[in-house]
Amino acid sequence: MSAPARVLVVDDSPTMRGLITAVLSSDPEVNVIGQAGDALEAREAIKRLNPDVVTLDIEMPNMNGLDFLEKIMTLRPMPVIMVSTMTHRGAEATLAALEIGAFDCVGKPGPGDLRPFGDLAEKVKAAARTQRPFSQPVTAAAAPPPSVADFRVGRKIVAIGSSTGGVEALIAVLQKFPANCPPTVITQHMPPTFTKSFAERLNRLCAPVVQEATDGARLEIGKIYLAPGGERHLQVSGASAPCCRLVDRAPVNGHRPSVDVLFDSVAELAGRNAVGVILTGMGRDGAAGLLKMRHAGARTLGQNEKTCVVYGMPRVAHELGAVEQQLPLSAIGEEILKMTAARKEGTE
């Protein structure tokens, strides 16, 4: 058995520090070695204790979590998990933190939450194990996407699944897409209320239109649909006029929305007229669904281990035989375009 992950908990609220510590201490593979109430205390604790992982509150006095995270990534790069309020402002700050290089995020519990910080211990352990060089966060290539005139879209649907590390990964992939990209549906594991802010952020950064998926939204060329977090799964349906469907079902693989649910529906609807992509993330969600897509004739891609923040979901998919090609993150966007471009003699 490997040594427990050593964690420093940083939050200005003593109550929240106590709750996070209690949740983490219930896992024998996690050891909370210290607490800090602000950035100054945290800086001294990091020097003194040398933790494997830091949990960091977004909103703190004296120096907010975002500014402190930038200093950590510059002066002493290490895995940091952001703890945020479940508000629009909290979501915006957390997304910025993930782009700076934070490992992952969790939302602060609300009234009546039966499992506060439910998967925080798993995220801490994954963060402690990661081999990612945090001083060099993965970023999108600066090259512009193809122009509309240079890309002739075919008839394929693209489905993408991601989790931990997915914010940076999706930006890197989608910034390669032209404005007339193939219809694209995405499930990214993310707290409720965060997905709307993430869709808005992607829409600002990318050439196509990116929006949070709504029930009944038609799949159209030049549009990307992100599954809303929390209550329902995203599926696609409608052979003659494909559209998004938000369905009430229990969590699958511990997630709602689930990548497997999305991939299963794409396999059934589109078969060989689809491309499935599985990106960085903990666990195995999406692996079985990607295999179903491949068996249905779809093209399938997986992010390689070297460029993953967590090589979990892509690893399981690869081991199952669901992945046709494993590629570095920088190559995935271009490969999707090759697989979905119209043939010269006509559309696919």
Q: Of 92, 112, 129, at which residue does a domain stop?
A: 129
Instruction: With a cut of 60, say whether residue 101 has pLDDT above it.
Output: yes
Confidence category of residue 132, pLDDT binned at 50, 70, 90: low
Let me know if residue 150 belongs to a domain: no
Q: Which tokens belong to 270?
A: 């589109």
Say if residue 214's pLDDT is above 80: yes
Average pLDDT over every residue of 310-324: 97
Q: Which strands form 157-162's sheet, in the order they lie side by side?
A: 209-212, 223-226, 184-188, 157-162, 274-278, 299-303, 325-327
Quick check: 253 and 260 in contact, CB under 8 A?
A: yes
Q: Is the pLDDT of residue 110 over 50?
A: yes
Residue 250's domain comprises 157-340
Residue 32: Cβ-neighbour burial (10 angstroms; 0-12, 13-18, 19+) = buried
| Span 237-259, pLDDT tens digits | 998 899 999 999 999 999 999 99
Q: Which residues are catalytic?
A: 163, 189, 285
**CB-based contact 38:62 (threshold 8 Å):** yes
Query: For residue 313, how far is the Cα from the chain centroid?
Result: 11
Confidence bin at 117 (pLDDT 50/70/90): confident
Least trusted range by pLDDT, from 20-34, 75-89, 220-234:
75-89
pLDDT of residue 230: 84
Q: Which of 249, 246, 308 minimizes the C-alpha distance to 283?
A: 308
Q: Burial of 149 by CB count in 10 Å (0-12 exposed, 13-18 middle, 19+ buried)?
A: exposed
pLDDT of the residue at 138: 45
Reduced to 3 states (helix: H, G, I; strand: E, B; else coil), residue 50 is: coil
With DSSP H G I counted as helix, E B as strand and the rest as coil, what are the percentages for the chain, rounded to 5? 35, 20, 40
Residue 146 lies in a domain: no
**DSSP-assigned beta bridge partners for residue 187:** 161
Based on the domain organization, do 259 and 303 belong to the same domain?
yes
CB-facing half-sphere around the CA of 268: CA atoms within 13 A: 11
What are the tens digits of pLDDT across the range 30-60? 999 999 999 999 999 999 999 999 999 998 8
Q: What is the CATH number of the domain that holds 248?
A: 3.40.50.180
Q: Please check whether residues 199 and 322 belong to one and the same domain.
A: yes
3-state SS assignment for residue 30: strand
235-246 burial, b for 16+ CB within 10 Å, e for fewer? bbeeeeebbbbb
Lowest mean pLDDT among 56-70, 110-124, 136-150: 136-150
Distances (CA, A) of 268 to 195, 235, 280, 292: 26, 10, 24, 9
Residue 224 has pLDDT above 90, yes or no: yes
Give the DSSP letter of residue 87.
S
pLDDT (mean) for 150-172? 93
Rounded to an integer, what distance in angstroms lies between the CA atom of residue 324 and that of residue 314?
Answer: 12
- Mean pLDDT score, 265-277: 97
- Both 196 and 68 in a single domain? no
Q: Are residues 275 and 201 in the same domain?
A: yes
Closest CA to 271 of 293, 240, 286: 293
Q: Is residue 57 part of a domain?
A: yes
State the pLDDT at residue 346: 45
Q: Is residue 145 part of a domain?
A: no
Interatomic CA distance for residues 10 and 28, integer angstroms: 20
> Would the pLDDT of 148 be above 80?
no
Is the pLDDT at 301 greater than 50? The verdict is yes
**pLDDT tens string 254-268:** 999 999 999 999 999
Residue-level pLDDT at 344? 58
The length of the chain is 348
Greater pLDDT, 78 or 61: 78
Q: What is the pLDDT of residue 139?
A: 46
Residue at 148 is within a domain? no
289 neighbors 260 (Cβ within 8 angstroms): yes
List CB contacts of 280: < 8 A, sequence separation 6 or more: 162, 163, 164, 165, 166, 169, 303, 307, 308, 309, 310, 311, 312, 313, 314, 329
Q: Specify the number of domains making up the chain.
A: 2
Q: Are residues 23 and 60 located together in one domain of the fold?
A: yes
Residues 125 and 173 in one domain: no
Q: Are residue 47 and residue 103 in the same domain, yes or no?
A: yes
The string of DSSP codes covering 201-238 is HHHHHSSSEEEE--TTPBP-TTEEEEPPSSS-EEEEE-
> What value does the mean pLDDT take over residues 149-175?
92
Q: At 22, is the pLDDT very low, low, confident or very high (cuts 50, 70, 90)?
A: very high
Q: How confident is residue 114, by pLDDT bands cut at 50, 70 and 90?
A: low
Q: Which residues are bridge partners to 32 per DSSP?
A: 7
Is 203 inside a domain boundary?
Answer: yes
The whole-number average pLDDT for the span 264-283 is 97
